């Protein structure tokens, strides 16, 4: 038997849940790192289509311009921020520019990432460092600047870190990437431990094998392609837009009591032996 007070609250909550605004991001500003193409652009498009103002980021001005044009042609509000997320000075400077521009980042998607496929015994320290800096340290640097401002504004916020299947399982030849993505899972929880009390929700998405530029070489490799199709219960590669719903959910008030989680969108690969 639900105790009366909970019953009443549940009734009210039930009514609220019907409100269409649950996934509405109007009035919010979202920074998506590494968003001039691939998964990053798909996240930007998804959040824009639910009302968020978008700040695209990348290190290639041309690609950033064309990504911004693609979104503004659809009538979405979009800004560009050309900076290297693994460079601390550049990150601090970028947020100072946001402050001057009056851009209050209340949704951050830490998506920027690179891949490098090489056996560990052949890996150079600078190669290892480059992947860890771009895929893990960058999430710390950018989130630190964003969270400091979210806490100061005292209006809460959303941080979405992009993990991977390799946040859970390893595959030969991608050790630095795997280590970084494992770190992303635990960094998400560390951020939750410190920032959840400020009404900031920090969660992660773990994409499976998605059909992106980063995976073109794997998709063109007949043996690997058939391994992915055979190993994935859905029997196919995922499409970047198939991450959209999860990103909007984690960016919206629908996830206001969800914190420190990683949601795998992988066609069931991690669920089945």
Residues with a catalytic annotation lie at 177
How far CA 159 is from CA of 51, 128, 139, 270, in Å, comes to 17, 26, 10, 24
On whether the CB atoms of residues 53 and 168 are closer than 8 A, the answer is no
Q: Which is nearer to ligand GCO, 74 or 171 (CB)?
A: 171
Nearer of residues 105 and 131 to ligand GCO, judged by Cβ: 131
Full DSSP string of 123-155:
--HHHHHHHHIIIIIHHHHHHHHHHHHHHHHTS
For the bound state, the minimum distance from the C-beta of residue 149 to ligand GCO, rounded and expressed in Å, comes to 30
User: Pick from 167, 150, 140: which is nearest to 30 by CA?
Assistant: 150
Name the minimum Å distance from CB 265 to ligand GCO.
9
237 binds ligand GCO (CB under 6 A): no
The sheet that has 29-32: what strands, in order across it?
78-82, 53-58, 29-32, 107-110, 157-162, 200-207, 262-265
Q: Write down the least CB distance from residue 217 to ligand GCO, Å.
A: 9
Q: Residue from 215, 232, 252, 255 that binds ligand GCO (CB under 6 A)?
A: 215
Q: Does 236 bind ligand GCO (CB under 6 A)?
A: no
Interface residues for ligand GCO in 80-139 (CB under 6 A)? 115, 117
Q: Could you tell me which stretch among 22-30, 123-131, 151-159, 213-221 binds ligand GCO (CB under 6 A)?
A: 213-221
Taking the complex as a whole, the smallest distance from the CB of residue 167 to ligand GCO amounts, in Å, to: 8
Note whether 39 binds ligand GCO by CB under 6 A: no
* Cβ-based nearer residue to ligand GCO, 82 or 170: 170
The answer to whether 174 contacts ligand GCO (rule: CB under 6 A) is yes
Size of the chain, expressed as the number of residues it contains = 273
Q: Is the CA virtual torsion 230, 231, 236, 237 positive or negative? A: negative
């Amino acid at each position: 038997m639900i105790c009366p007070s909970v019953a009443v609250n549940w009734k009210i909550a039930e009514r609220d849940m019907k409100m269409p605004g649950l996934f509405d991001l109007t009035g919010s500003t979202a920074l998506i790192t590494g968003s001039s193409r691939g998964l990053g652009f798909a996240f930007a498009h998804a959040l824009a289509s639910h009302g968020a103002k978008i700040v695209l980021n990348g290190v290639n001005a041309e690609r950033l311009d064309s990504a911004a044009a693609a979104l503004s042609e659809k009538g979405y509000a979009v800004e560009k921020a050309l900076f290297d997320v693994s460079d601390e000075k550049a990150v601090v400077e970028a947020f100072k520019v946001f402050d001057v521009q009056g851009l209050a980042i209340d949704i951050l998607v830490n998506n920027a990432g690179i891949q490098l496929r090489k056996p560990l015994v052949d890996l150079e320290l600078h190669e290892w460092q480059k992947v860890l800096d771009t895929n893990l340290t960058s999430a710390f640097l950018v989130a630190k600047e964003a969270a400091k401002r979210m806490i100061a504004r005292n209006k809460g916020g959303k941080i979405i870190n992009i993990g991977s299947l390799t946040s859970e399982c390893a595959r030969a030849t991608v050790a630095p990437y795997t280590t970084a993505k494992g770190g992303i899972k635990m960094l998400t929880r560390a951020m939750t431990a410190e920032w959840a009390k400020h009404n900031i929700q920090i969660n992660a998405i773990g994409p499976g094998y998605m059909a992106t530029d980063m995976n073109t070489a794997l998709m063109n490799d007949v043996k690997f392609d058939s391994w992915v199709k055979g190993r994935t219960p859905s029997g196919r590669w995922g499409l970047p837009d198939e991450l959209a719903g999860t990103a909007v959910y984690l960016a919206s008030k629908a996830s206001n009591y969800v914190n420190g989680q990683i949601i795998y969108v992988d066609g069931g690969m991690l669920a089945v032996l």
